Chain A
């Protein structure tokens, strides 16, 4: 099963084994990672599942859609070049070892 590494704002790392097909948001919410809310349930409508992807891994991800791009402008924590919405990142075998940093707030 592919693994995803979540880095909390205090620097601690948490590794989750994520079934292929689940999103980085769904995996986090179902396993109690508090820094991701996913209020809209993964419909790309709320920007409360914002993460910072390790910059050297950005090109492993599918490109950002227009909806995601617009929503990120309203994310609670600063938008950076490596900002993504974790509901739009579906975990696959190719993404094994993905590292995402969690912002300190989503609202």
Chain B
């Protein structure tokens, strides 16, 4: 072993070895592939190893830097000047490769361009707007809970985690009824596209055509009903805040990120409550905990697992100097279970003070739809808490594989009336 040996993760085990391939000697190197089925099946063990290896790890599988500790992830999310989004928030560097679709005006931009778009979407999805939706969403959640109780045994992913957002979000957007079946496949495609050029991404791209065509069509002003989020975005054109060319791309942002994320958040919450009956009992006793039970599921499972940034200059993170134009991968899910930040990170605790978790990101790019996600999560869990006495897993669960999103494909459950 040489004095300058760097720890290396190989096959999941931590070895001391020369940092072969790492651009900086002495930096921990890992050959794990965070975009592989093995990783998706059990990310927590590898998250732990990455966190313990150091504040910055070189991923030799894809030649990118990676951060798995809360402090570094939070710091990078809050420093858009050094860690930009305009070169893409996936593995692809837009300075070197053409984006797979026209670049987002909000997710894949930096200030000052980002600020204008963010202000519009922030207003369209503001706390004041959420107040106007609450009653309608809560009534839809009550109906959904009654339907599910009538079924007794069902798949909590398709029949609940997907069905509820699909029952409220497209109407809130103002989308026509026909073609909505493209929404989830389009979102899966977009979130797969943040990953590397692997089989998941290639397969999604090969099947993209009809989903892209549908979403592109729905972004036009005439497709979007009055009173919805889509119409509100287009109204910002009349106010001179954005151009008529920009409005459809901002609608696209909501269609991309407004549904599958909530599906996986709600799926995570049901999966947690079914696995931890004592937490469900607490929720039953006090349905006002529904909102935090959802939030804690977002911390615990981190439905959006990763995002990248690109360095705009040479910068030091955790004692490691990183050059300009380098991709940095942030493990949001690992940060959300970092024992340096959380007292009992491995416990799903619906009374935890979750403020500060990075499941919705942090800083200027923090999820603009977070209030909508919380509203949907809260009203659905509150309706279940009032009506459903128990939630039990009723068969084998199956994981859904996506380069960015974490969630299940199938979660059979049996519920009993309260």
Binding site for B on A (CB under 8 A): 25, 29-30, 32, 37-43, 45-47, 67, 70-71, 73-76, 107
Contacts and interface: CB of A to CB of B under 8 A. Distances in A.
A37 B122 CA distance: 20
Contact of B127 (A25, A32, A74): A74
A67 B131 CA distance: 18
Contacts of A42: 355-356
Contacts of B253: none
Q: From B295, B358, B368, B371, name the one whose CB has the most chain A CB atoms within 10 angstroms.
A: B371
Nearest to A107: B291
Contacts of A67: 122
A71 B362 contact: no
Given A67-B122, A71-B127, A76-B127, 4 more contacts: A38-B355, A39-B355, A40-B366, A70-B126
Contact of B128 (A32, A46, A73): A73
B353 A29 contact: yes
A42 B129 CA distance: 20
Contact of A41 (B355, B368, B378): B355
B10 interface: no
B234 interface: no
Instruction: Identify whether the interface residues of B are mostly helix, strand, loop, or mixed.
Output: helix
Contacts, number: 58
Q: From A29, A46, A73, name the one whose CB has the most chain B CB atoms within 10 angstroms.
A: A46
A76 B295 CA distance: 18
A41 B356 contact: yes
Nearest to B371: A46
Q: From A32, A47, A74, name the one whose CB has the most chain B CB atoms within 10 angstroms.
A: A74
B126 A41 contact: no
Instruction: Identify whether the interface residues of A are mostly helix, strand, loop, or mixed.
Output: loop
Interface of B: 122-123, 126-131, 291, 295, 353-358, 360, 362-364, 366, 368, 370-371, 374, 378
Given A29-B353, A37-B355, A46-B371, A74 B126 contact: yes
Contacts of A38: 355-356
Contact of B123 (A37, A40, A70): A70
B355 A29 contact: yes
A75 B130 CA distance: 10
Contact of A71 (B126, B368, B378): B126
B127 A46 contact: yes
Given A73-B128, A74-B130, A45 B122 contact: yes
A41 B362 contact: yes
14 contacts: A25-B355, A38-B356, A39-B295, A39-B374, A41-B356, A41-B357, A41-B358, A41-B362, A43-B364, A45-B122, A73-B127, A73-B128, A74-B129, A107-B291
A32 B366 CA distance: 24
A74 B131 contact: yes
A43 B126 contact: no
Contacts of B371: 45-46
Given A29-B353, A30-B353, A40 B370 contact: yes
Q: From A32, A42, A71, A107, name the one whose CB has the most chain B CB atoms within 10 angstroms.
A: A107
A75 B370 contact: no
B360 A74 contact: no
B291 A43 contact: no
A107 B122 CA distance: 18
A45 B373 CA distance: 13
Contact of B366 (A29, A45, A107): A45
Closest 10 CB pairs of A and B: A74-B127, A74-B128, A38-B355, A47-B127, A41-B356, A29-B355, A73-B128, A43-B366, A74-B126, A41-B355
A53 B364 CA distance: 26
Contacts of A30: 353
Nearest to A71: B127
B128 to A, nearest CB: 3
B223 to A, nearest CB: 27
Given A46-B370, A74-B131, A107-B291, A40 B126 contact: no
